[in-house]
C-alpha cells in the first residue's frame, strides 16, 4: 500500500503536515516550565472543543479504549450497575470492558443500524426505583455502523425520570469532527482519542470530567494506578504529569486545536457534514444504502455501506488495499461482510474524497458488482460542485 495515498478508514485519520511536524520535537524535560508551556494550551483547547464550562480535562497516554477504562475505574466500585445499549461493535466493547471489571451491566439490545434507544433507556431508568444504576454509557458515534446517537435525548431521559446516574459518552469518532456539547448535554465523562478528529497519531486518550464524576472518585473502589485521575490532577496543578508523558503528541494536540480553531469549529463541523453527504450521494448512485436506517442517524464521520446481496464487503476492502493501495474499513461484528466502511473525517479535501470514491467503484467493477462506473462518483461530484458554489456565493 502506498503511503502517499490517503486513507478512508474511520481512524486513524490522515495527518496534516503541520501536525506531523509539531509532533517532531527534540527531547524536552517534562518536569520543566517548557513542557508546561506546551501542555497548558492543549488542556485549555480541549476544554473549548468539548464545550466544558467546569470540571477537569485529563490527557492520558493511551487510546479511546483506555479512556473507557479510566472513566469506569475512577468513578465506580465492583458490583455497581451501569446501563448501556448495545447497537454496534464499539458499544459492545465498552460493555465487555465493564463486565471484565466486575460491574453489573444492564444491557438494552438494539438492532445494528439503529442508535441508542431513548424510550428503552428512559423506561429502564424509571424502573430503577432503588437507584442501583450508577452510570449510563452512551456511544455518540457508532463507528461500526455509521450511526450517530442523540446524547441530548439521553440527558432528557435521565432528567425526565428524575434519575441521578452519571452520563458517560464515547465520543472517540465524533469529538473534533461533529458538534459536541458537554455542558449543554450534561455529560459527566466524555472520551475522545487523538487519532480521529484531532488528526494525530494514536496514543492519547482525551477526557472531560465533570465535578459530579470527580466527586464519585472519592468513593470509587475499582483499582486504578496508571489511569488514576487523582494523580493526574494533582500533577497538573504544577503543569506536569505523575509519570513520563508523550511530549510530542501533546505538542501535536496543541497544534491540532490551533488549526481547528483557526478554521472555526462550526466550519469544521460543516465540512464534515458536507463530505458525509457527498459520500451518501455516491452510495445512492451505486444503488446501495447506508447501514444507518434513518437519515437522522447518519454519521458525519463514517458511512457504513450495505453491499448487494450475494457479495462481501471485505472482498472490496482487501482488493482496494492490494490493487489500488487505498484503505477502507471492513465490517465488524454482526455486520462483518455485510458492509464496508468509508471514513470521511479529519484531513480531507474534495479531491481526496473523490479519489476514494473512484477506487471504491473500480473495485466494485473488478468484483462483478452490478454498478456502473462513474455512477456514484458523478453524484458526489455534482453535490460537491453545487455546495462549493453556494459557499463561494455566500462568501462573495
Q: At what angle do helices 247-263 and 33-50 cross, to 10 degrees?
A: 40
Q: Which residues contact 259 (CB under 8 A, 6 or more apart)?
A: 16, 18, 19, 199
Give CA–CA dist 134/82, Å, rounded.
Answer: 6
- What pLDDT, on the 0 to 100 scale, is given for residue 2? 63
Query: CB–CB of 356/323 below 8 Å?
Result: no
What is the grid cell recorded at 236? 497538573
pLDDT by residue (tens digit) across 259-293?
999 999 999 999 999 999 999 999 999 999 999 99
Q: Could you give the C-alpha distances from 98 to 4, 104, 117, 123, 209, in angstroms and in order?
A: 39, 8, 20, 22, 18
Q: Is the dihedral of CA 11, 14, 16, 21 positive or negative?
A: positive
Q: How many residues does the chain have?
A: 396
Give CA–CA dist 346/202, Å, rounded.
Answer: 13
- How does strand 302-306 pair with strand 339-343? antiparallel
What is the grid cell recorded at 383? 453535490
Give CA–CA dist 68/48, Å, rounded.
Answer: 21
- Tell me 178's DSSP state: B
pLDDT under 50: residue ranges of the chain: 389-396
- What pLDDT, on the 0 to 100 scale, is given for residue 4? 80
- What pLDDT, on the 0 to 100 scale, is given for residue 28? 87
- What pLDDT, on the 0 to 100 scale, is given for residue 139? 98
Q: Chain centroid to CA 177: how far?
A: 8
Domains and CATH numbers, the chain: 7-11+265-395 (3.90.1150.10), 17-261 (3.40.640.10)
Neighbours of 230 (CB within 10 A): 14
Residue 54 DSSP SS3: coil
- What pLDDT, on the 0 to 100 scale, is given for residue 389? 44
- What pLDDT, on the 0 to 100 scale, is given for residue 24? 95
Specify the pTM.
0.95
First-to-last alpha carbon distance for the chain, in angstroms, is: 42
Place of cell 467546569: 54
Q: Could you give the C-alpha distances from 266 to 150, 159, 174, in angstroms and in order?
A: 19, 28, 14
Place of cell 458537554: 182
Q: What phi and psi, each to the nearest 5 degrees, are found at residue 61? A: -70, 95
Using the CB atoms, write b or e for 255-274: b if 16+ within 10 Å.
Answer: bbbbbbeeeebeebbebbbb
- What pLDDT, on the 0 to 100 scale, is given for residue 325? 96
Query: CB–CB of 256/199 below 8 Å?
Result: yes
Amino acid at each position: 500500500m502506498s503511503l502517499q495515498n490517503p486513507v478512508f478508514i474511520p481512524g486513524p485519520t490522515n495527518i496534516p503536515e503541520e501536525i506531523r511536524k509539531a509532533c517532531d520535537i527534540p527531547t524536552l524535560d517534562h518536569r520543566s516550565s517548557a513542557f508546561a508551556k506546551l501542555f497548558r494550551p492543549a488542556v485549555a483547547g480541549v476544554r473549548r472543543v468539548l464545550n466544558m464550562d467546569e470540571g477537569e480535562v485529563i490527557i492520558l497516554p493511551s487510546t479511546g479504549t483506555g479512556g473507557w477504562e479510566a472513566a469506569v475505574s475512577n468513578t465506580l466500585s465492583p458490583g455497581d450497575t451501569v446501563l448501556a445499549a448495545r447497537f454496534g461493535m464499539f458499544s459492545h466493547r465498552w460493555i465487555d470492558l465493564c463486565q471484565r471489571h466486575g460491574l453489573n451491566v444492564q444491557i438494552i439490545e438494539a438492532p445494528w443500524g439503529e442508535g441508542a434507544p431513548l424510550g428503552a433507556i428512559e423506561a429502564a431508568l424509571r424502573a430503577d426505583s432503588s437507584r442501583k444504576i450508577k452510570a449510563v454509557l452512551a456511544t455518540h458515534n457508532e463507528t461500526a455502523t455509521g450511526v450517530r446517537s442523540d446524547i441530548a435525548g439521553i440527558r432528557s431521559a435521565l432528567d425526565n425520570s428524575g434519575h441521578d446516574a452519571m452520563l458517560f459518552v464515547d465520543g472517540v469518532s465524533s469529538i473534533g469532527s461533529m458538534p459536541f456539547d458537554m455542558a449543554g448535554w450534561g455529560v459527566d465523562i466524555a472520551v475522545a482519542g487523538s487519532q480521529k478528529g484531532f488528526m494525530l497519531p494514536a496514543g492519547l486518550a482525551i477526557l472531560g470530567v465533570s465535578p459530579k464524576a470527580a466527586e464519585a472518585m472519592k468513593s470509587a473502589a475499582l483499582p486504578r494506578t496508571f489511569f488514576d485521575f487523582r494523580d493526574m490532577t494533582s500533577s497538573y496543578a504544577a503543569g506536569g504529569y505523575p509519570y513520563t508523558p508523550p511530549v510530542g503528541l501533546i505538542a501535536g494536540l496543541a497544534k491540532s486545536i490551533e488549526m481547528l480553531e483557526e478554521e472555526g469549529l462550526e466550519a469544521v463541523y460543516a465540512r464534515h457534514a458536507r463530505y458525509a453527504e457527498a459520500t451518501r450521494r455516491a452510495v445512492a448512485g451505486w444503488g446501495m444504502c447506508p447501514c444507518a436506517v434513518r437519515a437522522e442517524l447518519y454519521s458525519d464521520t463514517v458511512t457504513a455501506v450495505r453491499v448487494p446481496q450475494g457479495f462481501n464487503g471485505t472482498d472490496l476492502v482487501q482488493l482496494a488495499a492490494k490493487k489500488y493501495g487505498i484503505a477502507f474499513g471492513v465490517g465488524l461484528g454482526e455486520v462483518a461482510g455485510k458492509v464496508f466502511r468509508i471514513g470521511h473525517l479529519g484531513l480531507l479535501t474534495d479531491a481526496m474524497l473523490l479519489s476514494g470514491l473512484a477506487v471504491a467503484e473500480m473495485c466494485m467493477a473488478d468484483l462483478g458488482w452490478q454498478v456502473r462506473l462513474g455512477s456514484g462518483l458523478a453524484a458526489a461530484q455534482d453535490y460537491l460542485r453545487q455546495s462549493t458554489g453556494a459557499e463561494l456565493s455566500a462568501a462573495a
